[in-house]
Structure 1
Amino acid sequence: MYCTWWHDDGTVERIHHALGGRVRKADGRNAEPSAGLVDSQSVRTVDTVPRRE
C-alpha cells in the first residue's frame, strides 16, 4: 500500500535520484550522468509509425 502512495506522490523517484547521485559520487563520477544511450531494443514503435525506406 505504501509503495503505491509513494509511487503516486513521486517519493520513489526522488529517492531513486538522490541515491543514484550518491552512488555515482562514491564511485568517483559526477552525480549527474553526462551521456545517455538508446538502442533499437530500448525504443519500440507501433504499427502506425511508417518505416523509413
Structure 2
Amino acid sequence: MPSHSVCLQQFQDSELRLVLMHSGLSVDEVVNNRYWMRLNESCQIHFMPPENEK
C-alpha cells in the first residue's frame, strides 16, 4: 500500500498536468480567436455584398 506522501505527490502531479492542459487549451483558443479576427478584418475591405443587400 502506498504511503500518504506518495499518494499526495501523485495527486499533485495529476493536478499540475490538468492545469497545464487547461492552459494549453486557453492559448490555442486565444490564438484561434485572434486569427479569425485578423482574417475578418483583412478580408472586410475586399468584401462586396450581394446586389440585393446594398
TM range (shorter): 0.3 to 0.5
TM-score, normalization by structure 2: 0.37
Q: Which has the higher contact order (CA 8 A, sep 6+)?
A: 1
Higher helix residue share? 2
TM-score, normalization by structure 1: 0.38
